[in-house]
Amino acid sequence: MCGVFGIMGHPEASRIAYLGLYALQHRGQESGGIASVDAGAMFVERGMGQVADLFTEACLDRLPGRSAIGHIRYSTSGSSRLQNAQPIRIESRRGAIALGHNGNLVNAQALRKALEDNGAIFSSTSDTEVVLHLFARSTEEIVEDALVDALGRVQGAHAITALTPTQLLAARDPYGFRPLSIGHLEGAWVLASETCAFDLIGAEFVRDLEPGEVIVLSQDARAEGEAIDIVAAGAGGAAAGYVSHLPWAKQARKSCIFEQVYFARPDSRLYGDSVMQARKRMGSTLGAEAPVEADVVVPVPDGGVYAAQGYSEATGIPFELALIRNHYVGRTFIEPRQSIRHFGVKVKLNPVESLIKGRRVVLVDDSIVRGTTSAKIVEMVRAAGAAEVHVRISSPPYVSSCHYGIDTPRREDLIAANLSLEEVRERIGADTLAYLSLDGLRQTVTSGEAEYCTACFTGDYPTPLSDELSTQMELFTPAGAGPAGREIG
Ligand code: SF4
C-alpha cells in the first residue's frame, strides 16, 4: 500500500510530483517524500503525514530541477516512522540514488539478515533499504545494470521509481503484482502507480509497464524541449527518449486482483481496464449469482458504490446512497466520556433513516476482512429501521494474508478463514450473506491479457514465501540477467 511517481524533463518537476502524490494519496497516508535533481545535485524532502500537510511552498522551493520522484507510504513492511519514509536516498560508488518502492519483498528479512551478518548497517526497517544495499554491493558498473542486479535478487512485489543525477529509472517485478504506468506531459515523461495521477496533472497515458520491464530515461537522451514521438514511445525504443529492458526470466503475469476489487481509485485505468467498470461488472455478476427479494440496494461507501450499482442494474432493485460517509475523519477521535453507541463506525458512516426504515435492504461491500466493521454496519442499518439486511460482497471470501504489499491482518484474524459462511452471516448479524464466486470475479476482470494473483482468496501464492527462500547464496553469487534476459529497446 504505497504509491510511486516520477517525472523527467519538466521545469516544475517537484510541483508536478507533489500533485501526482496528491492523486495517489489513497494508496498511503502515513508518510510521503519527493527527491529532485538540479544541476547534478540531489534534494530530498520527506515527512510523516499526508501530502497536503507535508509539502509547503517553501518545501517545494527546496526541490529544484527538471527531474523528480515521489512516494507516499502506508507501512506494510517496517514500522511507521520517519526513517522509513521514502524516497530513500543513498550515496554509492556510482553516485547518489533515491528510490521509492511500492510492494512487499517476501525475502527481504532473509536478505537483510544475510547483509547484517556481513556487516551492513541499516538506518530503517523498510524492505526497500535492502534493495539499496544490494544495489550498492553489486559488481555491475552501470547504474541500471546494478539496479537490475539488485532487483534480480529480491522476490515478491515491486513497482519502483529511482532517480540519479542524470537518470530516472522505473521497474516492475516480473509478476507485475503492482501497477505502474508511463505517460507524457508537455514534453516530459511521467510515471505513476495509477493513471488517476495523470488525469490530475493533465498528462497523457502512454501505456502500462510490462511485468518485468525496466525503463531508463536519461536527461541527455533527447534535446531539451524536443517533442516526444508517441508512436515510438509506445514501442519503447531509445528514439523515444527512453530505453526499455526485460532483463529477467518471463513469469506468468500475476497482477493483484484486489487492486481492482478495492484498492485502486475507481477513476484509474488498471491493467488495461476501467476500475469503475470492472467494479460494476463485479456487482452485476454478484446480482446474477446471488439475487434476493429486497426493496433497496445500499452501498457501503466508498468501496461498495460501483458494485452496488451493478447489483442494482442486474436485479432491478433500486439503488440508494443511504449510508453517508464523512470524508474528513482523522485517524484518532476524542470520544465523549459517556460512550456513544457504535461511535467508531458512526463517526465515519451514518444511515439515512428515511431511505432505510421498513425496507428490505441489500448492503453491498467490496470485502469482509475481520468482520467487526460489517457487524457494526449491519447493526446500524437495523437500528435505522431496516426490515431485513442482506449482505452481498463483490469478491470471494478473504481467507489468506497478502504478502505482496496490501496491508491485511494475520490469517487467524481473517473471519472467512476461520468461520463457515453461515457462521460469518451469524457473526455479522445479516439475514443472508453471499460472496461473488472466484470464477465470477475472474470473468469480470479478464479484459486484455491480464492474469491475476488471487492468493488472498485461494491461498495459492505465486511465489515462495519468506522462509522457503535461500539467503546467503543470493547475496554473493552473480545474479545476472541470464539467458532469459530480453532487450526490447
Ligand atoms: S494476495 Fe491478494 S491482495 Fe495480495 S497481491 Fe495477491 S491478490 Fe493482491
- My answer on whether 267 and 190 are in the same domain is no
* Domain harbouring 87, CATH code: 3.60.20.10
CB 479 within 8 A of CB 237: no
Nearest to 46 by CA among 36, 194, 20, 38: 36
Nearest to 403 by CA among 127, 119, 117: 127
Question: Ligand 1 centroid to 369 CA: how many Å?
Answer: 13
> What ligand 1 atom has the least distance to the C-alpha of 455?
1
- My answer on whether 148 and 262 are in the same domain is no
In a domain, 189, yes or no: yes
Sequence letter at residue 42: M
- Give the closest residue (by CA) to ligand 1 atom 8: 256
**Per-residue pLDDT reduced to its tens digit, 400-426:** 999 999 888 889 999 999 999 999 999
- My answer on whether 220 and 278 are in the same domain is no
- Give the closest residue (by CA) to ligand 1 atom 2: 456
CB 367 within 8 A of CB 393: yes
Supply the pLDDT for residue 474: 47
**Whether pLDDT at 11 is above 80:** yes
This prediction has a pTM of 0.90
- My answer on whether 142 and 230 are in the same domain is yes
pLDDT band at residue 242 using 50, 70 and 90 as cut-offs: confident
Question: Ligand 1 centroid to 256 CA: how many Å?
Answer: 5
> What ligand 1 atom has the least distance to the C-alpha of 452?
7
Span of 54-68, 147-161, 189-203, 234-248 with lowest mean pLDDT: 234-248
* Domain harbouring 407, CATH code: 3.40.50.2020
Strand partners, 432: 390
**Per-residue pLDDT reduced to its tens digit, 216-227:** 998 754 444 443
In a domain, 489, yes or no: no
- Give the closest residue (by CA) to ligand 1 atom 4: 402
Mean pLDDT of 429-445: 96
Supply the pLDDT for residue 481: 42
**Per-residue pLDDT reduced to its tens digit, 279-306:** 999 999 999 999 999 999 999 999 999 9
Question: Ligand 1 centroid to 459 CA: how many Å?
Answer: 10
Best probe residue, ligand 1, of 399, 406, 445 (max atoms within 8 Å of C-beta): 406
Percent of the chain surpassing pLDDT 70: 86
The catalytic residues are 2
Mean pLDDT of 337-358: 85
> What ligand 1 atom has the least distance to the C-alpha of 408?
3
| Whole-number Å distance between alpha carbons of 298 and 321 | 6
List, as one string, the DSSP characters of 435-464. Answer: E--HHHHHHHH--TT--EE-HHHH---SS-
- My answer on whether 293 and 244 are in the same domain is no
More confident residue, 458 or 233: 458
Span of 119-123, 244-248, 329-333 with lowest mean pLDDT: 329-333
**Per-residue pLDDT reduced to its tens digit, 141-194:** 999 999 999 999 999 999 999 999 999 999 999 999 999 999 999 989 999 999
**Whether pLDDT at 74 is above 90:** no
- Segments forming the whole domain that contains residue 42: 2-254+466-480
- My answer on whether 193 and 220 are in the same domain is yes
Nearest to 215 by CA among 253, 259, 183: 183
**Whether pLDDT at 467 is above 90:** no
In a domain, 487, yes or no: no
CB 54 within 8 A of CB 70: no
Supply the pLDDT for residue 19: 98
Cβ < 6 Å from ligand 1: which residues? 177, 256-258, 402, 404, 406, 453-456
Supply the pLDDT for residue 407: 85
Supply the pLDDT for residue 3: 97
Supply the pLDDT for residue 473: 40
| Whole-number Å distance between alpha carbons of 479 and 321 | 54
> What ligand 1 atom has the least distance to the C-alpha of 157?
5
pLDDT band at residue 1 using 50, 70 and 90 as cut-offs: confident
CB 44 within 8 A of CB 87: yes
Question: Ligand 1 centroid to 402 CA: how many Å?
Answer: 5
pLDDT band at residue 236 using 50, 70 and 90 as cut-offs: very low
- Give the closest residue (by CA) to ligand 1 atom 5: 256
| Whole-number Å distance between alpha carbons of 249 and 266 | 32
Supply the pLDDT for residue 337: 67
Question: Ligand 1 centroid to 434 CA: how many Å?
Answer: 21
Supply the pLDDT for residue 75: 67
More confident residue, 489 or 462: 462
